[in-house]
Amino acid sequence: MSDKGSTNPVFALVDCNNFYASCEKLFRPDLRDTPVVVLSNNDGCVVARSKEAKALGIKMGVPAHLIKTEIRRHRIQVFSSNYTLYGDMSRRVMTNLEAMVPRVDIYSIDEAFLDLTGIERVVAFEAFGRQVKDAVYRNVGLPVCVGIAPTRTLAKLANHAAKKYPATGGVVDLTDPARQRRLMARVPVEEVWGVGRKLSAKLQAMGIATALQLADTDLTTLRKCFSVVLERTARELNGISCLVWEDAPAPKKQIMCSRSFGRPIQTLPDLEAAVAQYATRATEKLRKGQQYARELMVFVRTNPFRPGVPQYSRSTSVRLVNPTQDSRVIVQRTLSQLRSIYRPGYDYAKAGVMLSELVDDTGLQDDLFEPANTDSSDSGKSERLMTVIDEINLRSRATVFMARAAGLAAHAMRRGYLSPAYTTDWNALPGVG
């Protein structure tokens, strides 16, 4: 516990366990102990596994056709990804978190940072972590793990420990420096937030193999041999919070840009302007991580904490024919999705855009059965234009907007194992008896 009246920041990272697989299981109680995998759209590769599927040794990212035998032998239940369902469940989780703390930063579809600063004056951190975990399970039905620490980088590690060690009961309070060091000594440097595989190879060559060794490396050396980014990571591992939220490393699986509006928005053009900005920001992050997105999701909602006003909350998702990092394509598709879920007569309080099924450069491949370049005008010309836009936005901090073009029709996709839209379609509600 820190001093009375201390204003040192404390963060919690809440992360859903096996999120997509848990969403699928929630509506299929018959699958309680059954191994479940979720496949990427067009039913290509494994993008999520339940704990039973993990125990069978099914690897992340493996193409479905390579595990046909295992699927049959172990009766693994297969689902196509249902982003409309996951988006809806995500909003329920986030809304529950927002009801418990004053500030929530949504990091990805199933992860959020909570600001717990000062909360120890009311309740011990670990006890509060359990309250959060129990509330989400009780109200939404999804299991989460909670990691608590004085920096976001350490909160990530605490969450990693909460997942890895069942004895923790899914909650780890890492506010004690001695405990931080004990854990860091066991964690490979590759697991540290923002240290990728590439960077960790270089670090290991210098004899830095664990998170603790990185924390103890001289900061000037890190800045000289690597970057200020890694220097900042080392500071964060030492308990000094210095990461600006906007500069947080991009999630590997999805990129999320979502914000509450300063004041409620009613009209479609105002909503379009806000959402186009989020789509633009998300695509900038995508390009920064040199990735391409295959799937995008849009959501809007009113403020559930304002009593007595009509409530509305909806999300929708669409698959992009070709993976893209082109803002023009992403903004255009985002806006056409937004128009399909917009209903007049509501005070909208929040909206968001999520890009998922991310692939990197090398994984880029045109869909053989679709005309090329309908989505990603992935010529050198497009990439040069995007670079120019990024530079302008970086310099002026003003956002260069994409003109709003007419929406394209959603492409039909192969999703042979799609679960019903349990939460967003009355006709898909599970029946009783």
Catalog residues that contact Mg ion under the rule CB under 5 A. Answer: 15-16, 19, 110
Task: Please say which residue, 111 or 375, places its beta carbon nearer to Mg ion.
Answer: 111
- Least spacing, CB of residue 279 vs Mg ion, in Å: 23
- Least spacing, CB of residue 35 vs Mg ion, in Å: 18
- Least spacing, CB of residue 162 vs Mg ion, in Å: 11
Task: Please say which residue, 19 or 299, places its beta carbon nearer to Mg ion.
Answer: 19
- Least spacing, CB of residue 314 vs Mg ion, in Å: 23
Task: Please say which residue, 16 or 298, places its beta carbon nearer to Mg ion.
Answer: 16
- Least spacing, CB of residue 300 vs Mg ion, in Å: 24
Task: Please say which residue, 16 or 106, places its beta carbon nearer to Mg ion.
Answer: 16
Task: Please say which residue, 15 or 231, places its beta carbon nearer to Mg ion.
Answer: 15
Task: Please say which residue, 39 or 338, places its beta carbon nearer to Mg ion.
Answer: 39
- Least spacing, CB of residue 108 vs Mg ion, in Å: 8
Task: Please say which residue, 142 or 318, places its beta carbon nearer to Mg ion.
Answer: 142
Task: Please say which residue, 15 or 284, places its beta carbon nearer to Mg ion.
Answer: 15
Residue with tokens 């039913």: 43
- Least spacing, CB of residue 149 vs Mg ion, in Å: 18
Task: Please say which residue, 35 or 230, places its beta carbon nearer to Mg ion.
Answer: 35
Tell me the HSE value of 261 on the side-chain side, using a 13 A CA sphere: 21
CB neighbourhood size of 89 (10 A):
26
171-173 vs 144-149, strand pairing mode = parallel
Task: Please say which residue, 15 or 98, places its beta carbon nearer to Mg ion.
Answer: 15
- Least spacing, CB of residue 19 vs Mg ion, in Å: 5
Cα–Cα distance measured from residue 25 to residue 262, given in angstroms and rounded to the nearest whole number: 37
**Three-state SS across the chain?**
CCCCCCCCCCEEEEEECCHHHHHHHHCCHHHCCCCEEEECHHHCEEEEECHHHHHCCCCCCCEHHHHHHHHHHCCCEEEECCHHHHHHHHHHHHHHHHCCCCCEEEEECCEEEEECCCHHHCCCHHHHHHHHHHHHHHHCCCCEEEEEECCHHHHHHHHHHHHHCHHHCCEEECCCHHHHHHHHHHCEHHHCCCCCHHHHHHHHHCCCCEHHHHHCCCHHHHHHHCCHHHHHHHHHHCCCCCCCHHHCCCCCCEEEEEEEEEEEECCHHHHHHHHHHHHHHHHHHHHHCCEEEEEEEEEEEECCCCCCCCCCEEEEEEEEEEEECCHHHHHHHHHHHHHHHCCCCCCEEEEEEEEECCEEHHHCCCCCCCCCCCCCCCCHHHHHHHHHHHHHHHHHCCCCCCCCCCCCCCCCCCCCCCCCCCCCCHHHCCCCC
46-49 vs 36-39, strand pairing mode = antiparallel
Which residues lie across from 316 on neighbouring strands? 298
- Least spacing, CB of residue 10 vs Mg ion, in Å: 21
